[in-house]
């Protein structure tokens, strides 16, 4: 792949990474605020707060997973392996990479892993 294209992808991945970290930080701050509010004896909406904190922490987990995938994609970019499937070495469909710049697997392997129990890589299939 031409160096300029690799640079563009790297920039895009790093931009996405920063955006996720920023969102996660904000979610963490919100969870802290909710926990602080719970300790307030005047605060009586415990159940609702619990639900919101749960939603936010789930969001954090999804984003953490995305960061892991972005880091893996960046490592593959540095190794010159970006764009080929981590499982079968076939070239990943450029349309899939455009929609999912940190895709490590081709659509076929992503679908297979999604069905396999204990899948490590979770990517939306069929892109």
Binding residues (CB under 5 A) for Zn ion: these are: 85, 87-88, 106, 109
Task: Kindly report the backbone phi and psi dihedral angles of residue 91, in degrees, each rounded to the nearest multiple of 5, phi listed first.
Answer: -70, 135
Q: How far is the CB of 87 from Zn ion (least distance, A)?
A: 4
Name which of 103 and 106 has its Cβ closer to Zn ion. Answer: 106
Could you count the other beta carbons within 10 Å of the beta carbon of residue 92?
A: 23
Cβ(104)–Cβ(123) under 8 Å? yes
Q: How far is the CB of 10 from Zn ion (least distance, A)?
A: 22
Name which of 13 and 107 has its Cβ closer to Zn ion. Answer: 107
Q: How far is the CB of 58 from Zn ion (least distance, A)?
A: 28
Place of tokens 């749960």: 54
């Amino acid at each position: 792949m031409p160096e300029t294209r690799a640079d563009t992808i790297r920039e895009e991945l790093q931009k996405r990474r920063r955006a996720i970290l920023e969102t996660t930080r904000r979610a963490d701050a919100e969870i802290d605020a909710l926990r602080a509010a719970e300790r307030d004896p005047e605060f009586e909406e415990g159940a609702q707060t619990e639900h919101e904190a749960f939603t936010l922490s789930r969001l954090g987990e999804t984003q953490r997973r995305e960061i892991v995938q972005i880091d893996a994609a960046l490592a593959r970019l540095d190794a010159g392996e970006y764009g080929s499937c981590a499982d079968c070495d076939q070239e990943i469909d450029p349309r899939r990479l455009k929609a999912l710049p940190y895709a490590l697997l081709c659509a076929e392997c992503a679908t297979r892993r999604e069905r396999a129990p204990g899948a490590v890589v979770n990517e939306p299939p069929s892109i």
